[in-house]
Amino acid sequence: MPQVSIIMPCHNGAATIADSIRSVQNQTFTDWELFVVNDNSSDGSVKIVEDFAAKDGRIKLLHTKKSTGLPATPRNVGIEAATGRYIAFLDCDD
């Protein structure tokens, strides 16, 4: 079980999501899992996350059932999947 579960909502974040994921990977603390929750993006966000997840097993891609346009629903999807002792939130453009 990881110490920290990081929840990252994403809706059309292709321009910034790679930097956001790398910011998590570059932390000195490594006991984490990252759930990127796609809110029905229509840009290349999903492909970018899939590429990261294929190389780093701590990164997982989840999806909302329908586009909400709000971060609350993707965050709740991530919380349901989280297994860490602590939960942290990070937006895909941070």
**What is the model's pLDDT at position 70?**
85
Rounded Cα distance, 24 and 22, in Å? 5
**What is the model's pLDDT at position 60?**
98
**What is the model's pLDDT at position 94?**
82
CA-nearest of 33, 68, 63 to 46 is 63
**What is the model's pLDDT at position 1?**
82
What CA–CA distances, in Å, run from 58 to 3, 7, 62, 67? 12, 12, 13, 25
List the chain pLDDT tens, one digit each, 94 residues: 899 999 999 999 999 999 999 999 999 999 999 999 999 999 999 999 999 999 999 999 999 998 888 889 999 999 999 999 999 999 999 8
Task: Please state the pTM of the whole predicted model.
Answer: 0.94
Q: Estimate the crossing angle of helix 45-55 against helix 17-25, to 10 degrees.
A: 20
